[in-house]
Amino acid sequence: MNEHKPFSPESLTDFTIFLDRDGVINLPIVDDYAKQPSDFILVDGVLDALGKLQQMVKRVVMVTNQQGVHRKVMSEKDLENVHLKLYNSLKNKGLSYFDASFYAPYLKEESHEWRKPKNGMLLKAKSYFPDIDWTKAIMVGDSPGDMQLADTLGITKVKIANPQFLFDNQDYTYPDLGSFVAAMSK
């Protein structure tokens, strides 16, 4: 694990953080999906980490593949309800929601431009926020696709450890989002 501090807190004020959802914000469900709010369980300490992160950087954007919608194991309304649980959890802590949130409901086999590791969701974020500078962006995820996505735009890659995925294509590794934020704030 690369434990040295990648940035100083002062240098982060112009940064955009892109966060994967499953495995970073909520506990992953192996070979299944958070199809309803009761399936969506936040990682311990993630709300505090998100609150600190929001104070440190210019913006935080969630980007998540959700092929369960296309597979019809969940509807877009189900996904909305899951994200509403996240929104309410943040709101109850006095925190704002993400500056933007994108999901790709497409099947992996489709190779759709929005589905990670393709960069359509990040390019869409840039269309909303033209001042995003890829050299001042960080992709935080737990899968090889998250790191491959970051590579397409030259973004710094932060891996959140997940025993489900074994790969070594990241710039930094942390056990969870809270550890990453703590390292950034020192």
Question: What residues does each domain of the chain span?
Answer: 9-185
- Distance CA(102)–CA(115), nearest Å, equals 10
Give yes or no for a contact between 143 and 11, defined as CB atoms under 8 angstroms apart.
Answer: no
**Beta strands 100-104 and 172-174, pairing class:** unpaired
Residue 22 annotated in active site: yes
- Please pick, among 14, 22, 151, 168, the residue that the annotation labels catalytic: 22
Q: Does CATH number 3.30.1330.200 belong to domain 9-185?
A: no
Look up tokens 């959700």; give the residue.
66
Catalytic residue among 20, 78, 142, 176: 20
The question of whether 99 is a catalytic residue gets the answer no
- pLDDT value at position 185? 85
pLDDT tens digits, 31-62 = 889 999 999 999 999 999 999 999 999 999 99
pLDDT for 7 equals 63
Q: d(Cα 109, Cα 123) in Å, to the nearest integer? A: 21
- pLDDT (average), residues 109-123: 96
